[in-house]
């Protein structure tokens, strides 16, 4: 997993960050290499796989050191020194290696592995904790794990610490569906199951977003807004590629002044009625593409991405798909052309409904300070 500066900045914020990981030991080792060895950050590591993690980190550092020298004798000396690398609950190397590593002496207190401890924020020495799987959570019964995950997220914010938990696909799916059952009951609807499976398929070796449009995040207790109840779409998280925003409240206020709303195609009222006929949310555009032209979930997602990037070749292809699908469903080509023209004009600046709800909530909180 590649760690950009923006990702490191995000996960350094207080809270629980869950990573869907195909190889947790490898990914924790990569984090240690990037955040501690390269970045000079301090972390606690809760894992029972101390030897495997140590070996992975050592291999990464060894390769980094060797890549920085060209002399064969010097390279052989580095290999010898690194072969004597050791660990006693922390990592270290001889001072002779200081010229080859990024942060000098490495690291008597930078990274501490707590292989026999469970995750308790009050006992963390450093501000960031890396957690290898569910086994490091303090629970009496397996059924308590979803509740415990929510508690860890809350406690991390109280103690102003960041916990990064690496879960395998099977562990993550179990946690999400256990949380879903606790919210929606024993018999989950097809809508809930399909939405969870879709989100988990999209999230591949990546962070679970703390995003109001994510049902996975809601079932894990990372957010408090039910995206199904508020018609929030997960796909919109990946569609915005512009910093430009629209003043949605003004748009809505303007719409209130119209006594009658005329829709280019009558069935569009289904998704535009809540905003008085105005195309306001990215979610609306995606649902309309499915309604009017039978776009699939993936095609409607690609449509929003392409509108944001303004890739003309891709837009031409999607436009033809939209016109063909719309005419097949009995809609007039002239009306479809007008709809598409509005999408091309407004699409790049649309925000998701979840983003706008978050902004409105933040504004209300700020006003009440």
Q: Is the pLDDT of residue 358 over 60?
A: yes
Express as a percent the part of the chain with pLDDT over 70: 78
How many domains does one find in the chain?
Answer: 2
pTM: 0.62
Residue 262 lies in a domain: yes
Task: Indicate whether 282 and 157 sit together in one domain.
Answer: no
Please state the rounded mean pLDDT for residues 254-258.
Answer: 37
Which tens digit of pLDDT belongs to each residue from 268-281? Answer: 999 988 887 888 88
Residue 183 lies in a domain: no
Q: For the domain that residue 86 is a member of, what is the CATH number?
A: 3.40.50
In this predicted structure, what is the pLDDT of residue 237? Answer: 57
Please state the rounded mean pLDDT for residues 147-176.
Answer: 90
Task: Indicate whether 137 and 255 sit together in one domain.
Answer: no
Q: Is the pLDDT of residue 166 over 60?
A: yes
Using alpha carbons only, give the angle 115, 117, 122 rounded to the nearest 5 degrees. Answer: 130
pLDDT band at 363 (very low <50, low <70, confident <90, very high): very low
pLDDT band at 340 (very low <50, low <70, confident <90, very high): very high
Of these ranges, 72-76, 154-158, 228-232, the one predicted with the greatest mean pLDDT is 154-158
Residue 163 has phi, psi (to 5 degrees) of -115, 130
Query: What integer best gives the mean pLDDT of the chain?
Result: 78
Residue 356 has phi, psi (to 5 degrees) of -70, -40
pLDDT band at 92 (very low <50, low <70, confident <90, very high): low
Question: Residue 104 and residue 17: Cα distance in Å, rounded?
Answer: 29
Question: Residue 206 and residue 22: Cα distance in Å, rounded?
Answer: 10
In this predicted structure, what is the pLDDT of residue 31? Answer: 87
Question: Residue 304 and residue 290: Cα distance in Å, rounded?
Answer: 12
The helix-helix angle for 169-184 and 145-158 (nearest 10°) equals 100
Residue range of the domain that includes 79: 5-167
Which tens digit of pLDDT belongs to each residue from 171-193? Answer: 999 999 999 999 999 999 999 99
Q: Is the pLDDT of residue 82 over 80?
A: no
In this predicted structure, what is the pLDDT of residue 3? Answer: 66
Q: Is the pLDDT of residue 296 over 80?
A: yes
Residue 231 lies in a domain: no
The helix-helix angle for 297-309 and 333-346 (nearest 10°) equals 60
Task: Indicate whether 136 and 272 sit together in one domain.
Answer: no
Task: Indicate whether 158 and 307 sit together in one domain.
Answer: no
Residue 211 lies in a domain: no
Residue 121 lies in a domain: yes
pLDDT band at 289 (very low <50, low <70, confident <90, very high): very high
**Cβ–Cβ < 8 Å for 65, 98:** no
Q: Is the pLDDT of residue 100 over 70?
A: no
Task: Indicate whether 253 and 145 sit together in one domain.
Answer: no
* Pairs from 65-72 (Cβ < 8 Å, separation ≥ 24): 65/97, 65/100, 65/101, 68/100, 69/100
Nearest residue to 354 (alpha-carbon basis) of 261, 292, 254, 286: 286
Task: Indicate whether 143 and 277 sit together in one domain.
Answer: no
Please state the rounded mean pLDDT for residues 215-226.
Answer: 88
- Buried b or exposed e, range 220-241, using 16+ CB within 10 angstroms: bbbbebebeeeebbbbbbebbe
pLDDT band at 104 (very low <50, low <70, confident <90, very high): very low
113 or 162, which is more confident?
A: 162
Task: Indicate whether 16 and 162 sit together in one domain.
Answer: yes
Residue 137 lies in a domain: yes
Lowest mean pLDDT among 20-24, 165-169, 352-356: 352-356
In this predicted structure, what is the pLDDT of residue 119? Answer: 83
Torsion over CA: 20, 113, 76, 71 (sign): positive
- Domain final position from 122, 152, 167: 167
Task: Indicate whether 160 and 14 sit together in one domain.
Answer: yes
- Domain final position from 108, 132, 167: 167
Question: Residue 319 and residue 327: Cα distance in Å, rounded?
Answer: 12
Residue 143 lies in a domain: yes
pLDDT band at 2 (very low <50, low <70, confident <90, very high): low
Torsion over CA: 335, 337, 340, 341 (sign): negative
The separation between CA 305 and the C-alpha centre of its own chain, rounded to angstroms, equals 17
- Domain final position from 117, 135, 167: 167
The DSSP annotation for 139-150 comes to: -SSGGGHHHHHH
Residue 194 lies in a domain: no
Q: Is the pLDDT of residue 240 over 70?
A: no
Task: Indicate whether 116 and 258 sit together in one domain.
Answer: no
């Amino acid at each position: 997993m590649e760690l950009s500066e923006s990702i490191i900045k995000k996960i350094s914020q207080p809270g629980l960050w869950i990573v869907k990981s195909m190889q947790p030991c490898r990914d924790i080792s990569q984090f240690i290499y990037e955040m501690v060895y390269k970045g000079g950050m301090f972390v606690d590591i809760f894992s029972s796989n101390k030897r495997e993690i140590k070996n992975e980190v050592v291999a990464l550092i060894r390769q980094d050191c060797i890549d920085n020298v060209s002399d064969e004798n010097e390279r052989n000396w580095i290999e010898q020194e690194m072969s004597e690398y050791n660990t006693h609950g922390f990592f270290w190397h001889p001072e002779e290696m200081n010229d080859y590593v990024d942060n000098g002496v490495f690291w008597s207190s930078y990274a501490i592995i707590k292989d026999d401890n469970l995750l308790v924020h009050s006992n963390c020495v450093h501000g960031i904790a890396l957690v290898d799987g569910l086994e490091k959570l303090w629970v009496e019964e397996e059924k308590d794990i979803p509740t415990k995950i929510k508690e860890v997220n809350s406690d991390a914010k109280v103690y102003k610490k960041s916990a990064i938990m690496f879960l395998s696909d099977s562990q993550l799916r179990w946690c999400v569906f256990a949380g879903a059952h606790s919210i929606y009951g024993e018999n989950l609807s097809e809508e809930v199951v399909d939405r969870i499976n879709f989100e988990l398929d999209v999230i591949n070796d990546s962070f679970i977003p703390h995003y109001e449009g994510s049902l996975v995040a809601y079932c894990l207790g990372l957010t408090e807004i039910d995206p199904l109840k508020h018609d929030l779409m997960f796909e919109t998280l990946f569609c915005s590629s512009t910093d430009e925003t629209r003043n949605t409240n003004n748009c809505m206020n303007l719409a209130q002044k119209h006594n009658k709303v005329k829709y280019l195609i009558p069935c569009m009222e289904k998704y535009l009625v809540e905003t008085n006929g105005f195309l306001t949310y990215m979610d609306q555009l995606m649902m309309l593409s499915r309604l009017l032209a039978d776009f699939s979930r993936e095609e409607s997602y690609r449509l929003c991405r392409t509108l944001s990037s303004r890739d003309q070749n891709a837009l031409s292809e999607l436009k033809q798909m939209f016109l063909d699908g719309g005419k097949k469903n009995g809609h007039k080509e002239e009306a479809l052309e007008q709809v598409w023209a509005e999408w091309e004009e407004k699409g790049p600046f649309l925000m998701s409904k979840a983003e706008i709800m978050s902004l409105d909530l933040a504004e209300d909180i700020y006003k009440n300070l």
